[in-house]
Structure 1
Amino acid sequence: MKAAIAALLLLLLSLSLSAQTLKGKLFGMQGGVREILPGGMLRWIGTGVVAVVNENGVFELPVQDVTDRRLVASHPGFVTDTIMVEEKTYLSIVLSKAATELAGITVTDRAGAYISSLGVAKTEVINQKELSKAACCDLAGCFGTQASVQPQTTNVVTNAQELRILGLSGVYNQVLFDGLPMIQGLSYTYGISTYPGSMVENIYVSKGTTSVLQGYESISGQINVESRHPEKSERLYLNAYINSFGEKHFNANVATPVGKKKKWHSLLALHTVQPAGKTDGNKDGFLDLPLLTRYMAYNKWKYGNDKETGFSTQIGLRITAEKRIGGQMDYDAAGHKGSNKVYGQQVGYTQPEAYIKSAYRWSDEHALVLAVSGYYHDQQSWFGTTSYAAVQQSAYLNLQHEWYWNQKHLLKYGVSYRYQELEEDIRFINSSLPRSYAGKYQTSLRVPGVFAENTFHWLDDKVTLITGARIDHHQQWGWYFTPRTMVKYAVNGNHTFRASAGTGWRQVSLFSEQANLLVSSRDIIFLEPLKPEAAFNWGVSHTYHFVTGQTTGTLSGDFYSTHFSNQFFPDYDSDPTKAIIRNFEGSSRSNGLQLEASFVFFKQLEVRSAYNYLDVYRRENGEKVSLPFNPRNRVMAALSYRTKNNRWQGDINAHWFDKMRLPDTRSNPVAYQRPLYSTPYATVNIQGTFRLKTLDIYAGCENLADYRQPNPIISANNPFGPYFDLSSVWGPTRGRELYLGVRYSIK
């Protein structure tokens, strides 16, 4: 009897808790077809309680203490509706397509970059609206209005860049394309530049520990680039851009349904870059930016919906061909290849790639998901008198079963396999430098693995816990166990607390990831074989969303700490003429704090600011040694204003960087020495946009104050001498850049 009473009380309690939350889906009716509307907004009228519709069209809104039960539902391009909810606990809302296609309706209510309220890990979402605030010619240029990711130049001559999180090299954060690991090894150095902003739907940025489902690598965070959806994209999208150096970008997207029943949808994206003219603004004899030629074609096919019963699939095919030429002003790629008279660098490669993600869902509770991807990268390069030829084959397979159990918890488990074969050939031609690392190198990766991850939902989703682990076997170094956990506590519709902890590891691909090793006169000294890098990361965050009258805002703060148990970092300090390669198993830490505030006033003025504190160091011989190229303090501010009819828009963002420690060059001759620390500096970027119904005209300026790092290249006047070095580049080197562009689209 007591057991029955207890069970009844538990039932009543669960019913009471569930009654305090309104759940549902948001749909839009367009052309007689009902579709989910991710990114839509739900708000109790007259309150600050807001919910954002997730990628599956689902929303959840607390109802406790809500006296006025009218719910406002909105989505760009659809008519805003007000619904009387009464005592319902689940609601399907269908919005009608807006009768007019004025740009003001399409854009004014659309949220810019935001912190997802649904993610268990703190996830920043950069959407198309945010990307349109800058030229965003490639992925590295898409982070100007946020503070978590810092693009960093790794080779100033070829303009190779990486994306840093928590002050750590970009190799420690996992970059995914449509959820798959397509950027690694050879594709790491130039891969992030081959994704133009025109083919990006959203960018999801998570710091610290993330899911184990995509692998074991993500140590400092994860960047997932989601490409445009074929079934939702504009039928035609065109973008053309030119900057004051003469570099030109052209993009075209075409989306169309395929087949008699139009169950397949296709998106074809074409992209090309044509080179700039030769410029040398700082008069050091070197080109300010490389001559870049790129051609890319991408075709994405989609069938079905993986959230519905039955079969669904997504197929992607992409090929990229690129050539970069940099160096001294008189360098000719054909006549001076390998020359010791005129210095130059040229990188040419082709990369075809393909992926498929298929799912079969036989009930609401069970689904089987298969993801397979692979690419081939063939690169031929010259760095002065150094020839570098490399070929890489990579493949990835992931098969998992998804099981909703107990009606609300989700278990995912399965098997994975990682394959990589990297062959590198290094030769020295016409060189008198005492360099000893010429030869052929082969890096293999064969890693089978098993994984499981469970998502628990408690207290009507106020508490969400993800626990996961994977076991992988490296062909040389044996077994690796990778546990991770993340928890979210949504106190109410405004306050959300998150915490995460877990481990990660990765194999080093030395020359393909460390561009500076090949482009300087340093000799490379190998002291021992490189083990996989491994680290433990933990972090906490708090996010506060609020609405007050015509103002919406978000305040957030987070702290993440990374502890390496083995780390690789080239030693440039012991001898400026050498790079010493070894494992470091001592104490190595990265501590990162970020405080951020964003506000939207009257749906027209957006203001965002952020502060980052970084403490990245090692302990060597009992002393704390800061790692180079990390500003201890960094500040970002962004402002965006558009008129009520959305015809005009102005954007500005500014970044301030504190001083950074640089490689020690004190043992060089005085003429080739550089300070131990950089100079603090700031950059300001602006853009203006004029909109018609189907046409956007935008113009802007990057590095408005024309700031340049003085003398970025050591021994620029003698690039074939023993002190030529690019490893002390820490700031802008090409000065002010003006640009003009147009976007044209047919909905």
Structure 2
Amino acid sequence: RPDLELGIPDLVIVAGARLDWNSRFERLLFTPRASAKYSFSQNSIVRLSAGRGYRSPNVIAENISLLASNRSLDIAADLGMEEAWNYGLNFTQNLHLAGREASFSLDLYRTDFMEQVLVDVDRSPTQVFIYNVDGKSFSNSLLATAQYNVLPGLDVKLAYKWNDVRSTYSDGVLRTLPLVAKHRGLVTLDYTTPDKRWNFNTRVQVVGAQRLPDNALVPHEYTHDFPSMSPVYGVWSGQVSRKFGQNLEIYIGGENLNGFQQHHAIIAASEPDSPYFNGSQIWAPIMGQVAYLGLRFSPAGL
């Protein structure tokens, strides 16, 4: 794993590779990876990375939510390892606006999968097919984050995430994966009093539309007119905490204060023995407002 400077003081390149033997699949795995960092200034940095990776599937543990249904699992007998190439870019900028500290970061990532393990919940309402993709499969993501210290003790954070995750299904069609929101947003306000005893935090998370699994073959009386896409929704949460000395903190808060809920979340909920019973298509909170109260105690010296 050499570090290369190339005679450019603000540029650092790290390249490496490793060999691994996978006893489960009896394969020798070659995993190269490289990263680069360039500092335009002390407050402006760009990072690049690229590499290859492998993953051994553990389909039951990784898809435990599927057990909340009566669907049978059809796992391909020749299910193999996943392989992927990942490419990424990160840009970070720290700055001052009106005499206050601010920061901005941008992350861009692309992953190209080879033989991705796909959990196909679209082909049948009573079965789940798990197999390696024979075709194009990729993930693109963008994350933009901005943070600003508006007033002493008051910080505002804005974040936006874009996801484009698609795979080629067994019928040869390239589809967006279900239950993956293409757009997400987050707004956070955090205030700490000058004496550091009180902290007030509130946040709003916005979740964009998600493609829902194909329920066209489910009897209509079970689906409650399930749409093909979930609606855009927001969740508002907040917390207030108070410190007493150095060791004790009491906090009270609430989640989903706006009370948004997914109704009729379970298909065939009144017939748990039905082959169509399915509680795995959860795309939003299923509980309303939730309040909590607690304390944190840290013994002195720990």
TM-score in same-fold range (> 0.5): yes
Matched, 1:738 2:291: yes
Structure 1 residue aligned with 2:276: 723
2:206 and 2:68 map into 1 onto residues whose CA distance is 29
Query: SS of the counterpart of 1:679?
Result: coil
Alpha carbons 1:706, 1:735 under 8 Å: kept: yes
2:261 and 2:7 map into 1 onto residues whose CA distance is 54
Query: SS of the counterpart of 2:282?
Result: coil
Alpha carbons 1:630, 1:661 under 8 Å: kept: yes
Per-residue deviation at 1:734? 1.6
Structure 1 pair 647–459 and aligned structure 2 pair: CA distance change class (3 A) = farther
Query: SS of the counterpart of 2:41?
Result: coil
Per-residue deviation at 1:550? 4.2
Matched, 1:535 2:84: yes
Gaps of 5+ in 1: 1-452
Matched, 1:556 2:108: no
Matched, 1:701 2:254: yes
1:622 and 1:526 map into 2 onto residues whose CA distance is 19
Alpha carbons 2:143, 2:161 under 8 Å: kept: yes
Structure 1 residue aligned with 2:3: 455
1:523 and 1:698 map into 2 onto residues whose CA distance is 44
Matched, 1:681 2:233: yes
Alpha carbons 1:550, 1:602 under 8 Å: kept: no
Structure 2 residue aligned with 1:692: 244
Structure 2 residue aligned with 1:627: 177
Amino acid of the structure 2 residue aligned with 1:651: N
Aligned ranges for residues 308-707 of structure 1 at < 5 Å? 453-457=1-5, 462-475=10-23, 476-548=25-97, 550-620=99-169, 623-673=173-223, 674-694=226-246, 695-707=248-260
Per-residue deviation at 1:637? 0.8
2:204 and 2:98 map into 1 onto residues whose CA distance is 28
Aligned ranges for residues 191-270 of structure 1 at < 5 Å? none
Alpha carbons 1:542, 1:557 under 8 Å: kept: yes
Per-residue deviation at 1:622? 5.6
2:236 and 2:32 map into 1 onto residues whose CA distance is 42
Amino acid of the structure 1 residue aligned with 2:14: I
Per-residue deviation at 1:459? 6.0
Per-residue deviation at 1:461? 5.5
Per-residue deviation at 1:458? 6.1
Query: SS of the counterpart of 2:46?
Result: strand
2:48 and 2:12 map into 1 onto residues whose CA distance is 11
2:58 and 2:145 map into 1 onto residues whose CA distance is 35
Query: SS of the counterpart of 1:582?
Result: strand
Per-residue deviation at 1:725? 0.8
C-alpha distance after superposition, 1:389-443 (max 9, x if no partner): xxxxxxxxxxxxxxxxxxxxxxxxxxxxxxxxxxxxxxxxxxxxxxxxxxxxxxx
Per-residue deviation at 1:454? 2.7
Alpha carbons 2:261, 2:286 under 8 Å: kept: yes
1:742 and 1:519 map into 2 onto residues whose CA distance is 34
Alpha carbons 1:528, 1:583 under 8 Å: kept: no
Structure 1 pair 573–743 and aligned structure 2 pair: CA distance change class (3 A) = same
2:192 and 2:76 map into 1 onto residues whose CA distance is 58
TM-score, structure 2 as length reference: 0.92
Alpha carbons 1:596, 1:609 under 8 Å: kept: yes
Query: SS of the counterpart of 2:61?
Result: helix
Per-residue deviation at 1:672? 2.1
C-alpha distance after superposition, 1:179-200 (max 9, x if no partner): xxxxxxxxxxxxxxxxxxxxxx
Per-residue deviation at 1:647? 2.2
Per-residue deviation at 1:466? 1.3
Amino acid of the structure 2 residue aligned with 1:742: L
Amino acid of the structure 1 residue aligned with 2:142: L
1:543 and 1:605 map into 2 onto residues whose CA distance is 21
2:266 and 2:2 map into 1 onto residues whose CA distance is 51
Aligned ranges for residues 134-149 of structure 1 at < 5 Å? none
Alpha carbons 1:712, 1:729 under 8 Å: kept: yes
Gaps of 5+ in 2: none
C-alpha distance after superposition, 1:289-336 (max 9, x if no partner): xxxxxxxxxxxxxxxxxxxxxxxxxxxxxxxxxxxxxxxxxxxxxxxx
Amino acid of the structure 2 residue aligned with 1:724: F
Alpha carbons 1:641, 1:651 under 8 Å: kept: yes
1:571 and 1:623 map into 2 onto residues whose CA distance is 12
Alpha carbons 1:484, 1:503 under 8 Å: kept: yes
What is the identity percentage for the equivalent residue pairs of Structure 1 and Structure 2? 32
1:693 and 1:604 map into 2 onto residues whose CA distance is 19
Per-residue deviation at 1:505? 0.7
Amino acid of the structure 2 residue aligned with 1:683: V
Per-residue deviation at 1:518? 2.8
Per-residue deviation at 1:570? 1.7
C-alpha distance after superposition, 1:118-175 (max 9, x if no partner): xxxxxxxxxxxxxxxxxxxxxxxxxxxxxxxxxxxxxxxxxxxxxxxxxxxxxxxxxx
Query: SS of the counterpart of 1:517?
Result: helix
2:40 and 2:95 map into 1 onto residues whose CA distance is 13
Alpha carbons 1:663, 1:727 under 8 Å: kept: no
2:56 and 2:138 map into 1 onto residues whose CA distance is 19
C-alpha distance after superposition, 1:85-105 (max 9, x if no partner): xxxxxxxxxxxxxxxxxxxxx
Task: Provide runs of 4+ in structure 1 moved above 4 Å.
Answer: 457-461
Amino acid of the structure 1 residue aligned with 2:2: N
1:641 and 1:467 map into 2 onto residues whose CA distance is 42
Q: Cα RMSD between the aligned structures?
A: 1.8
Structure 1 pair 701–569 and aligned structure 2 pair: CA distance change class (3 A) = same
Larger Cα-atom Rg: 1
Structure 2 residue aligned with 1:712: 265
